[in-house]
Structures are given as C-alpha cells and as structure tokens.
C-alpha cells in the first residue's frame, strides 16, 4: 500500500513505471501475507519488486518499450520472474526501457522518456532506466534489469544505485524478449550489493528452457559479503583512465581506489588494449543478432498489425514500419547489412574475431588481479535530448560497459559519490567468470 501510494504521487514526474495493476499487486501481497502467517515463507516473501518491461509476465502487458508489443499480454512468465514470484515477491509494476533494450538513455521508449529522479532534466541512463529510476526514487526496493551492453550497470550508475550483470548463462533468458541473445543477461538492481546478492540467489539457476543456461551447482552469492579486502589485488586498466573521462568521474574512481587501499587492497596496473575496438565489434554483432531476433515481429501471430495493406508482403512491411521506432529500424538495417552476402566476412566475421581478442584481453588482465576497477560511463547522466539525435555519440558512451558483454564476464556498478551539480557517479567492478560473490563482497565492503 505504501509503495503504491508513493508511486501514484511521484511516478508521473519520472515515468519510471509504464504499467501498473493495483488489484494484481494487492492480490499478490495478500497471498504473501498468508504465506508469512502460515509458515514456509522465503526470505523475500512479501518484498515488492519492479520488473523491466523486457520480461514476459503472464497477464501483464509486456511491451519491451515498443509500440510493436503494445497490445501484447504475455501468456507465460519468464523463468527469472517466476523464480522471484515463487519466493513470494510482490509485483509493483512494469518499468520503462529503451525500445527492445536498444539505447543508453531510455529516450527510445515508445512510452516516453524516463527522467532521472535526482534531476528531472537529465536521463536515467538505459536501457534499464525505468528500473534504476524507480529504485533510486524509492518507488521500489529493487528491480529487475537486463544487460546486453551495459543496460544494468550504466543506469545504476546514473541513478546512484547498485546493479550486477552476472556471468553469461548464470540466469535464464527464457521469457526475456531477445535483443542480442549471445549478450543478453538479466540481473538485479537495488540499493546495495547485499540486496543484489539475495536477489541473485533467488534468480539464478539452470533452466532447461534456455539452451545457453549453465548447469552448475547452486551458490550462495552472499557467502563472501563479510570477507575483509586485505590483500585483494585490484587491476586498473590504463585504457580506462585516459582522456575522454570526465574529471569528476575520474575523481570518483580515485576516491574508490583510496577506499580500497585503506582496507588493505593492492592496486595493479593492467591493460585492455582492444577497449576502443569493442564498440564497433559490439554494434556489429548486437545489430546482427537483433535483425535476426526481431524478424519474428511480422504482424501475423502477435504484436502490432497495420490496419491497411494490399497483400501479405505489405502487411509485414506496414506493420514493421508502424510498430518499430527509428533506433530499432537503424539496428535492423545495420544487422541485415553486416550479415548480407558480400559483407559478412568484412564485418560480421571480423567482429567475431575481435570479440575473441577482447575476451583474451580480460583473461590476460585478470591473471594479474582479482577484480578490475574503472568507471561505468565517461560522464554522469546527460541532459535529455543531448545524445538521442547523435546515435554514434550514444554508442561511444558504452565504451566501459560493452567489452564485458563481449566476453560474457560478470560486472557490477556501485555508487561512488556525486558531481558538484548533484548527479550520481558509479564505479564498476569486473571479475572473472563465476566470481559474482567476490564482486558483491568487494562492493559490500566499499558500501
Ligand atoms: N546501449 C547499448 C545498446 O544500445 C546497450 C543496451 C543494453 O545493454 N541493452 O545496445
């Protein structure tokens, strides 16, 4: 009740939630109450939760920020959402996002931009900007996000909260609308690393319905939270400290270094030489996968269908022309181009080779340290409208987040102070495969 009335009062100003269903929320809350009274409750029973619109959830509009799926009520629930519902978490609503998770500012949403709760004329980041904004505005204790190229970590940084992208394959992708399947990974966004650990415990696990889900023993991601950081080796990639990073962001990273040193951690200089090439590699590969994944939206079985058309081909093209926004169309065109005969070797194949080099860079760096520390984004949250008309500028701002997705590594963003103008700044921790509990430990000790 308390969250619902706060949402009613304060959501209109930030547009973080795009779908609410009071009756459904209260019914879930009542079921949680009964479970709490009757015994057999889970640690998270009754805790409210917000879901990014990318996750299918039975009975809820699951539009992925697009007009294309504006009429889509999911007939089934994503595994990761189901895992949280099984624990008794209560759905507060569905959060705004860049259309099909393509974007870094939340401005490509068909449902209007979300605003940064700290300063409304600034963006919350993207694509999980709605999730970050509602947690930061205290309109949810936690939210689910997805991260294909930084979409959990970057909005978490811009809104002053904590978010983790797990190792690729740790969390099921079943029921999460596909953008770039070999990159997409869901993760929790919350106030603290400790909250993220508890959520990840409940979200993660093998799923037969996701062919890239990893079959591993279950872990307690909170097990290392209390471990002291004495002797921890922290890698500082020289490419993450160069020009192009705003002075206030650099200062926040320096403060984080001092905080770690004060706890006995040791800094090590490392290098990630392919950092700049990760951007073109990612935008070639992610667009290629997107153009394939989004070919399913043809207006036939579900999704938007144009009202007027003369034949089947025209039904497809009119439905897609009307249903997709311009950023999605741009990605589909780039993707179709780089996959086409004659260009495949020059672009797609070359980008795949770069992807391997980027992953190798991380292995070389992580052989010298336990975790890598750096900025999440080169600047704090930009003003609304400043990036959206220059897509290349927007792509360049992903420089510190997307390499992690190319390599499939886990990475976490945690708050690290504010700019003089009062906007949050985040720092990023990157670890080797399956070191989530270590990343959460380091973040917890820094909080
Ligand atoms: N900004 C990146 C993109 O537009 C990442 C988005 C994401 O992680 N979903 O593709």
Mutation choice for ligand 1 from 64, 149, 180, CB with most ligand atoms inside 8 A: 149
pTM for the complete prediction?
0.97
Smallest CA separation from ligand 1 atom 5, residue: 149
* Of 43, 76, 79, residue with least CA distance to 62: 76
Closest CA to 78 of 55, 53, 54: 55
pLDDT of residue 153: 98
pLDDT above 80 for 262: yes
- Answer yes or no: are the C-beta atoms of 368 and 268 closer than 8 Å: yes
Index of the ligand 1 atom closest to the CA of residue 286: 10
- Rounded CA separation 348/285 (Å): 6
For residue 101, the ligand 1 atom closest to its alpha carbon is 9
| Ligand 1 atom closest to 179 (CA) | 9
For a mutational test of ligand 1's pocket, the pick from 64, 96, 102, 393, i.e. the residue with the most ligand atoms closer than 8 A to its C-beta, is: 102
Q: Give the pLDDT confidence of 139-187 residue by residue, as tens digits.
A: 999 999 999 999 999 999 999 999 999 999 999 999 999 999 999 999 9
Q: Which residue out of 104, 128, 151, 222 is catalytically annotated?
A: 151
On the question of pLDDT at 391 being above 90, the answer is no
Tell how far the Cα of 289 is from the centroid of ligand 1, in angstroms. 13
Is 353 considered catalytic here?
no
Write out residues with Cβ below 6 Å of ligand 1.
Answer: 101-104, 127, 147-151, 179, 286, 398
Query: How far from each other are the two terminal CA atoms of the chain, in whole angstroms?
Result: 29
- Residue 6's pLDDT is what? 98
Closest ligand 1 atom, residue 283 Cα: 10
Nearest-angstrom CA–CA distance, 144 and 200: 10
**Residue 126 — pLDDT band, cuts 50, 70, 90?**
very high
Whether the pLDDT of residue 387 is over 80: the answer is no
Q: State the Cα–Cα distance between residues 22 and 42, nearest whole angstrom.
A: 23
Q: How many H helices and E strands in the chain?
A: 14, 11
- Please confirm, yes or no, whether 127 is among the known catalytic residues: yes
**Residue spans per domain, the chain:** 1-447
User: Percent of the chain, pLDDT > 90?
Assistant: 96
Active site residue 340: no
CA of 414 to the centre of ligand 1 (A): 19
Residue 369 is predicted with a pLDDT of 98
Q: Strand 162-165 vs strand 90-95: parallel, antiparallel, or unpaired?
A: unpaired
Residue-level pLDDT at 393: 84
ipTM of the complex: 0.97
What sections of 15-109 are H helices per DSSP? 22-38, 79-86
Span from the CA of 16 to the centroid of ligand 1 (angstroms) = 18
**Ligand 1 mean position, distance from CA 260 (Å):** 30
The phi-psi region of residue 299 (left if phi > 0; otherwise alpha if psi is between -120 and 50; otherwise beta) is left
pLDDT score for 243: 79
Burial class (CB in 10 A: 0-12, 13-18, 19+), 13: exposed
Q: What is the pLDDT of residue 165?
A: 98
Confidence (pLDDT) at 39: 86
What DSSP state is assigned to residue 30?
H
pLDDT(413) > 80: yes
For 279, the token pair is 């951007």
Please name the CATH architecture into which domain 1-447 falls.
Alpha-Beta Complex (3.90)
Identify which of 52, 55, 66, 98 to mutate to test ligand 1's pocket (most ligand atoms within 8 A of the CB): 98
């Amino acid at each position: 009740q308390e969250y619902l009335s706060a949402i009613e009062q304060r959501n209109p100003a930030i547009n973080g939630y795009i779908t609410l269903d009071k009756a459904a929320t209260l019914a879930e809350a009542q079921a949680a109450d009964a479970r709490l009274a009757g015994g057999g409750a889970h640690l998270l029973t009754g805790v409210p939760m917000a879901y990014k619109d990318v996750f299918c959830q039975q009975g809820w509009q699951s539009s992925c920020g697009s007009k294309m799926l504006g009429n889509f009520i999911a007939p089934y629930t994503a595994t990761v959402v189901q895992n949280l519902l099984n624990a008794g978490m209560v759905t507060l609503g569905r959060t705004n996002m860049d259309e099909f998770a393509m974007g870094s500012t939340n401005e490509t949403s068909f449902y209007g931009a979300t605003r940064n709760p700290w300063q409304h004329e600034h963006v919350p980041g993207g694509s999980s900007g709605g999730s970050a904004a509602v947690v930061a505005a205290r309109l949810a204790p936690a939210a689910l996000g997805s991260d294909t190229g930084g979409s959990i970590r970057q909005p978490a940084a811009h809104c002053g909260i904590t978010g983790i992208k797990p190792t690729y394959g740790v969390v099921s992708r079943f029921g999460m609308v596909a953008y770039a399947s070999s990159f997409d990974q869901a993760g929790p966004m919350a106030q603290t690393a400790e909250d993220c650990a508890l959520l990840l415990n409940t979200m993660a696990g093998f799923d037969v319905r996701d062919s890239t889900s990893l079959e591993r023993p279950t872990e307690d991601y909170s097990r290392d939270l209390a471990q002291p950081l004495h002797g921890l080796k922290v890698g500082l990639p020289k490419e993450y400290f160069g020009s192009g990073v705003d002075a206030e962001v650099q200062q926040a990273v320096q403060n984080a270094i001092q905080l770690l040193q004060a706890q006995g951690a040791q800094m090590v200089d490392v290098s990630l030489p392919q950092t700049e090439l990760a951007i073109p590699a990612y935008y070639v590969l992610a667009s290629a996968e997107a153009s394939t994944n989004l070919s399913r939206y043809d207006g036939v079985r579900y999704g938007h269908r144009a009202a007027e058309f003369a034949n089947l081909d025209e039904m497809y093209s009119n439905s897609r022309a009307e249903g997709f926004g311009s950023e999605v169309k741009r990605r589909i065109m780039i993707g179709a181009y780089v996959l086409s005969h004659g260009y495949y070797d020059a672009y797609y194949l070359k980008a795949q080779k770069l992807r391997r080099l980027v992953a190798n860079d991380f292995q070389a760096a992580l052989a010298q340290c336990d975790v890598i520390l750096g900025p999440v984004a080169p600047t704090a949250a930009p003003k609304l409208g400043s990036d959206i008309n220059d897509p290349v500028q927007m792509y360049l701002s992903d420089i510190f987040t997307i390499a992690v997705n190319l390599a499939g590594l886990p990475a976490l963003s945690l708050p690290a102070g504010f700019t003089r103008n009062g906007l949050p700044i985040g720092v990023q921790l990157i670890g080797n495969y399956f070191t989530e509990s270590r990343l959460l430990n380091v973040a917890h000790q820094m909080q």
